Amino acid sequence: MVLSILFIKLIVKYAHKLDLYDVPNERSHHCSITPSGAGIGFISALFFSFVVFEFSFVQEYWYIFVSIAIVFAMGVYDDRHAVSARLKFIAIFLAVFLLWINDCSIYTFGTWYGHELVIPSVFALLFSLFALSGFTNALNLIDGIDGLSASVSIVILTFFAFLGFEYHSDIIVLLSTFTIASLIGFLFLNWHPAKIFMGDSGSLTIGFIICVLAVLSLEYVHPVALVYLMALPLLDTLMVMLRRMKSGKSPFSPDKTHIHHMLVKCFETNVPQTVGFLVVLQIVFSAIGYMILDSINKNGGTNLPVFALLGFIFIFILFYMVFAKINTRQLLIDTQEDEKVKSVSL
């Protein structure tokens, strides 16, 4: 944590020389130019900690650390230059491919009614690419207000750490806890009003680390439980993409219809309250996921995964309907305010 703070402060100090700044745009919640690229600091602190204190794990799981390094390097480059979606995809593909050839991929959909749905090798690569790139970008998309992405990630990583302790997986415990420590250091400087932003070097890499932990956890838990453990970024991304497609836009076009954008207005631009609400929401989802995996593993319930999946679909539909109403209401308020401004100017 201390190392993370020191590295990030160096980024803040030399941000002007490194050209690591975030300039406000129409989607931003900050009003001034702010240093970015804190991920360079806290991910470097993460790697440094592993090399110094747990080098045996770096040697044993070298392919995991190299794959994380590939995504990190792409994120660092993206913080300084505009990286195309194609180049990002290539980097994530290389990282996922490295994991796959070392038997670290999504190889199963879990056991349903007593039968395990095993994914054939090549399709495991394709599905792993789809799932890992999807969640990596989902976490990147919630990095829209001070402290949100780091706080939500800490919650998710904490539950993975518990899972690692319960099933005696040292790599899950260490990767989770070391990443949490690095993020806590970052959060001291990113809490509202932020002194520095995470940048793609941070958000993409943290998203990928969470994906790796999820893949490693498949040995112990049902995939449907993992969906709950990682629910908030998934729900937000699915909801936003569906709304964009429904309105005839590209699902990848940027806008201000993410959950945090709407809640900030509901909380009258109180960023800490918005982050607190979403963190509590993620804690609830992760707790549900943990209870599901515990129940499946201990009681062997054959119907529970089905009910859990249906429950997640119901939650998604509920989220979509509630936030669609909030979005419509806020658009109406914004329109009325614009009309008032025009009438005053006339």
Distance CA 223, CA 106 (A): 9
Is 248 a domain residue?
Answer: no
State residue 251's pLDDT score: 77
In a domain, 84, yes or no: yes
> Cis ω on the peptide bond leading into residue 193 (within 30° of 0)?
yes
Instruction: Report the Cα 65 to chain-centroid distance in Å.
Output: 18
Between the alpha carbon of residue 18 and those of residues 81, 83, 329, the distances in Å are 11, 17, 42
Q: Is 324 domain-assigned?
A: no
pLDDT in tens, 92-140: 999 999 999 999 999 999 888 878 899 999 999 999 999 999 999 999 9
pLDDT of residue 208: 98
Is 192 part of a structural domain of the chain? yes
Residue 341 lies in a domain: no
- The pLDDT value given to residue 257: 78
Q: Say what the pLDDT of residue 338 is.
A: 52
Pair of tokens at residue 92: 């994530």
The predicted structure's pLDDT at residue 114: 79
Structural domain containing residue 94: 2-232+263-300
Low-confidence ranges of the chain (pLDDT < 70): 24-31, 268, 299-302, 331-346
Q: What is the pLDDT of residues 249-275, one digit of tens each?
A: 877 777 777 888 888 877 767 899 999
How confident is the model at residue 31, as a pLDDT? Answer: 60
The verdict on residue 142 lying in a domain is yes
Work out how many domains the chain is built from and give that number: 1
In a domain, 125, yes or no: yes
pLDDT attached to residue 173: 97
